């Protein structure tokens, strides 16, 4: 693990990249200060403007930690899954159409989605849409989203283990 604060220039570059993403366009800041970067094997965690983001395989996404990212997670389109699908998705399974009970927001193929349980609407995972919204509604079976981050995965546990660093600044 390597942790450091980004220079003003690098922080501005990160914010510029984020503003190109539909879910992060409205991030409010002219000059982000104290952007923490924590590099771990396979992914990088950023604390920027109070949010915790992860970059993995050149994809930036909010982690499923509601205490940090509620505002960002609420901006993402969501798939609501039945309670029978919850344990599978929480262990990293991709999202299958029969387990989805509702769609919230519009999305296209390749967009980020937050997967939520139907009872409490708690975020379970961040996934990438494999089809657009209309196609997903038409489908009765098959995989519709690829899970890239979920509760209790390596990223989630890592963020839990470095809370002391995240909350310091």
Relative to beta strand 43-48, strand 36-40 is antiparallel
pLDDT tens digit sequence for 17-71 = 998 898 887 776 666 778 999 999 999 999 998 899 999 999 999 999 999 999 9
What does 23-90 look like in DSSP terms, one character per residue? GGTT---SS----EEEEETTEEEEEETTEEEEEETTEEEE-S-HHHHHHHHHHS-EEEE-TTTHHHHT
**Which phi and psi (to 5°) does residue 7 adopt?**
-65, 165
Class of domain 73-150: mainly beta
Residue 16's pLDDT is 87
**Residues 2-71+154-166, CATH architecture:** Roll (3.10)
pLDDT in tens, 114-138: 999 999 999 999 999 999 999 999 9
**Whole-model pTM?**
0.93
Q: Tell me the domain boundaries of the chain.
A: 2-71+154-166, 73-150
**Beta partners for 112?**
128
The pLDDT confidence band at residue 154, using thresholds 50, 70 and 90, is very high
């Amino acid at each position: 693990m390597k942790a450091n604060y980004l220079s003003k220039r690098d922080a501005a570059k990160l914010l510029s990249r984020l503003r190109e993403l539909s879910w992060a366009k409205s991030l409010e800041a002219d000059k982000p200060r104290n952007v923490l970067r924590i590099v771990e094997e396979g992914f990088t965690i950023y604390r920027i403007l109070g949010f915790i983001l992860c970059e993995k395989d050149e994809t930036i996404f909010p982690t499923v930690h509601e205490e940090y990212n509620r505002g960002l997670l609420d901006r993402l389109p969501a798939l609501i899954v039945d309670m029978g699908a919850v344990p599978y998705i929480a262990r990293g399974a991709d999202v299958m159409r029969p387990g989805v009970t509702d769609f919230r927001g519009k999305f296209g193929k390749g967009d980020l989605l937050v997967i939520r349980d139907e009872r409490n609407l708690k975020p379970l995972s961040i996934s990438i849409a494999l089809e657009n919204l209309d196609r997903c509604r038409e489908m009765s079976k098959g995989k519709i989203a690829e899970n890239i981050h979920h509760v209790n995965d390596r990223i989630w546990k890592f963020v839990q283990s470095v809370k002391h660093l995240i909350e310091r600044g």
